[in-house]
Structure 1
Amino acid sequence: MNLLIALTAFAAPGGAHSWVITPSGVVTHVDWTWYYKALRLKVGFSFPGYMIHESGQWSDVHEKWFFMPRMDNFTHMEPWVFLKDGPGNVTKGFKGEWMTVRENKLYVGGLGKEWTTPNGDLLNYNPMYVKVITPSGVVTHVDWTWYYKALRLKVGFSFPGYMIHESGQWSDVHEKWFFMPRSQTKN
């Protein structure tokens, strides 16, 4: 399960005040205790939120500076990996929208939509890449254009129609990907 936490609010990990989920996936108890601690990254800017992913790490993607920081032991943030857009050979930072863990690797996905001009003309497929990151920080840039297009076609959309994905999740139980679009249009 991914959890988005805004600013400096953090829940107690694995403590008495945490989510209890049954094997069927039903939430049976939710109780939060918040811990506030100002964490600063020594790079001169802040992040709007952090995400905790299945590996237990807190992180986020900052598309303006192309790097993904990581929090260790709830004590400090440090730059971890640099993520560039598309195939990784461009100067623009990657705008990560979702994270999940599959086979001990962190997957960071983008919008899942072609990059277009304001008039709708195709510029590139860079937001349709997924970054696959090993625990040691090795980044592989994987072209998911075919997968994003197949997902969009499954619900009856084709270019210039689009789906922008807010959430992507791999399920070990179902051995499938699950996506939740943020917005979509047929034209």
Structure 2
Amino acid sequence: MSRKPADIARLERYGPDTSEYTLAIITDEDHAAQIQLEDGQVAWRSTLRYDKLYRETDPDTGKVRYRLEEIPAHQSGEHQLISLIAEGGRGAEFSELVLFGQRLITFDDRTGLVCEIRNENQLIPRHILMTGSGDEAFKGFKSEWATLKGDQMIVGSHGKNAREEWIKVLDRNYALESVDWHQYYQNMRTALGVGEQGYVTHEAAEWHPYRNQWLFFPRKISTTPFDEPVDEQERGGNTLIMANPDFTDIRTLEIGPRTPDRGISSFKLIPGHPSECIGLKSVEIGDRTETYLFCFDLEGNLLQEDTLIGRYKCEGVEIL
């Protein structure tokens, strides 16, 4: 019997009767990630937390709602991941989580490091992705989003400049291909109407194998040039992009109210319920950081309003 492609197997790990899930959520705390170990060695730390997510159906209306329940730290709900690899004095800035077969993978958006997470707190480096095509600069790839398409893992970046418009394609053995996605990113900018002066920042994307569609949920959308204070406080988006495989047919869908200082940093299709999604929204204003979890469906309905999960920045969520 032939094996299912990885993207479909990921969605079919649970059936339509599933109502309880375990989430993995990872932090990207930028400069705050640096620590000193007991032996005096400098290292970088990220927090991996686990939570429960419950799907509930109202018996009278049939409406679906999701409910988050935190697993306390003392009940193995929180673990520390330690990295000894940095670039420019920064490391362990993990921006996404993807379950690739049986392996939970995370990506350091500072160093380009690709790691497997084992035994809840062990980082196993597997690859270092380099910026752009991989040939032009000795700089780690700013990994921001990742998903499975067929038997490959696709890793992408913000898409704000030419280097960040390349994607990385990894197979199950971590063999690597770099692909220029300039036209795809440009088509998304055009669909959002940002014009030549504006920009779009991507940190969350999923390939939907049943719909044969790309789903992108931009973190920031602006019709004016980048201005950091304005970007932090006013450019958070609530517009989901739905595109055919070559991005020649794109439609957009607003999901819930727009909260200007919150932008989507990760989302996932929910196994067993592939028209429903879970996502993270991050706030990053100066030293203030917050993360919210929300759920929605691909018709535009909110299934869980923004729920504060911590006053730190999380940029990756996966369903285990």
The bucket for the TM-score relative to the shorter chain is 0.7 to 0.9
**Residue 166 (structure 1) aligned with residue 212 (structure 2):** no
The answer as to whether partners of 2:166 and 2:178 remain within 8 angstroms in 1 is yes
Alpha-carbon shift at residue 61 of structure 1 (Å): 2.1
Q: What percent of counterpart residues are identical?
A: 23
In the alignment, structure 1 residue 30 sits paired with structure 2 residue 68 = yes
TM-superposition CA deviations, 1:123-142 (whole Å, max 9, x none):
xx111011111121111111
Which residue of 2 is the match for residue 119 of structure 1?
none
Aligned to 2:134: 88
Q: Which amino acid aligns with 2:81?
A: L
1:70 aligns with 2:129: no
Q: CA deviation at 1:10?
A: 2.3
**Which residue does 1:98 correspond to in 2?**
145
> Does the CA contact (< 8 Å) of 2:129 and 2:140 recur in 1?
yes
Query: Following the alignment from structure 2 to structure 1, what is the Cα–Cα distance between the partners of residues 119 and 218?
Result: 32
Q: Counterpart amino acid of 2:49? A: F
Task: Find the residue that maps to 1:57 and give its secondary structure.
Answer: strand
* 2: CA distance, partners of 1:181 / 1:58: 22
Deviation of 1:46 after TM superposition, in Å, equals: 4.6
3-state SS in 2 of match to 1:38:
strand
RCO comparison, higher one (Cα < 8 Å, 6+):
2
Change (3 A) 1:39 1:182: closer
Residues 43, 111 of structure 1: CA spacing in aligned structure 2 closer, same or farther, 3 A cutoff?
A: closer
Larger Rg belongs to: 2
CA deviations over 1:147-169 (Å, ceiling 9, x no partner): 00011111223333211112111
Please tell me the root mean square deviation across aligned C-alpha atoms, in Å.
Answer: 2.6
Flag the 1:59–1:94 CA change in 2: closer, same or farther, 3 A: same
User: How far apart, CA to CA, are the structure 2 residues paired with 1:99 and 1:9?
Assistant: 17
Q: CA deviation at 1:50?
A: 5.8
Shift of 1:29: 4.1
* Separation (CA, whole Å) in 1 of partners of 2:55 and 2:176: 32
Match of 1:74, SS state, is coil
8 Å Cα contact 2:198-2:223 kept in structure 1? yes
In structure 1, distance between residues paired with 2:138 and 2:198: 27
Q: Kindly indicate whether residue 178 of structure 2 is the aligned counterpart of residue 132 of structure 1.
A: no
In the superposition, the TM-score normalised over structure 2's length comes to: 0.47
Contact 1:60 1:70 in 2 (8 A): no
Q: How does 1:170-181 map to 2 (within 5 A)?
A: 170-181=207-218
Matched, 1:39 2:81: yes
Structure 2, gaps ≥5 residues long? 1-10, 12-22, 28-45, 57-63, 225-320
Count residues with an aligned counterpart.
Answer: 168
Higher strand share: 2
In structure 1, stretches of 5+ residues that fail to align are 12-16, 115-124
Match of 2:52 in 1: 18
Counterparts of 2:160 and 2:81, CA distance in 1: 33
> CA separation of 1:32/1:172 partners in 2, compared to 1, >3 Å: closer, same or farther?
farther
Tell me what 1:8 maps to: 47
99, 109, 112: which one aligns with 2:159: 112
Distance 1:153 1:105, change over 3 A: same
Structure 2 SS opposite 1:53:
strand
Q: CA deviation at 1:144?
A: 0.6
For 1:98, the aligned partner's letter is W
Partners of 1:155 and 1:51 in 2: how far apart? Answer: 24
Q: For residue 38 of structure 1, report the CA deviation from its aligned partner.
A: 2.9
Q: Which amino acid aligns with 1:144?
A: W
Distance 2:48 2:113 in 1: 22
Q: Tell me the equivalent position of 1:122.
A: none
Equivalent-residue separation in structure 1 for 2:53 and 2:119 (angstroms): 20
